[in-house]
Amino acid sequence: MIIDNLPKAIQEAMKARDTIRLTTLQMLKSAINYKRIELMHDLTNEDELAVVRSEAKKRRDAIEAYTKAGRNELAEKEQTELKILATFLPQQMSDEKLESIVNSTITKLGATSMADMGKVIGAVKATTKDAADGSRVSSLVKSKLQQK
C-alpha cells in the first residue's frame, strides 16, 4: 500500500532537506487521506493508485498551462513533482508495445474512422490496464485513425 510507504519516504526527504520531494509526498499523503475520508473506508491499492494518477494528471495539466504561458520555472517545478509521483505508479509500457496493441485493436475491431475512436480506446485501455496512460492511448489512437 502506498500510504504505508509514505511516512518513511517523508522522513527520508526531511533528512535529505529535499523540500520539493517533501512537499510532494506530504501533498500525496494528504490527498490519499482526503479520499479515505470522502469514501468513509480504508482505500484499496487501486483506490490509492487512482489518487496518485489524479495528482499526476494535475501536474501534467499544470506543466502544459505553465509552458504555454511562458512560465518555465513553474513548469520545471511541476515536472519534478510529476517525476516524484511517477515512482508510485506502475511502470509504463514502451511506445512500440503500445503502438502494436493499438494497431492490433484497430484491426480486430475493424475501426476505420474517428467515429470508432471511443471503442478502440476502451478496448486498448482494457488490455493495457495501468501500463499506459490514457492520454498516450488517446493521442496514439487518434493519430492512427486519422491516417485511415
Residue pLDDT, tens place only, 122-137:
999 989 887 888 888 9
Q: What is the pLDDT of residues 55-85, one digit of tens each?
A: 999 999 999 999 999 999 999 999 999 999 9
Number of domains comprising the chain: 2
Annotate the chain with three-state secondary structure: CHHHHHHHHHHHHHHHCCHHHHHHHHHHHHHHHHHHHHHCCCCCHHHHHHHHHHHHHHHHHHHHHHHHCCCHHHHHHHHHHHHHHHCCCCCCCCHHHHHHHHHHHHHHHCCCCHHHHHHHHHHHHHHHHHHCCHHHHHHHHHHHHHHC
Same domain, 10 and 45: yes
Same domain, 79 and 110: no
Tell me the pTM: 0.76
Instruction: Find the domain containing 54 and state its range.
Output: 2-86
Same domain, 76 and 23: yes
Q: Which of 86, 115, 135 is the last residue of a domain?
A: 86
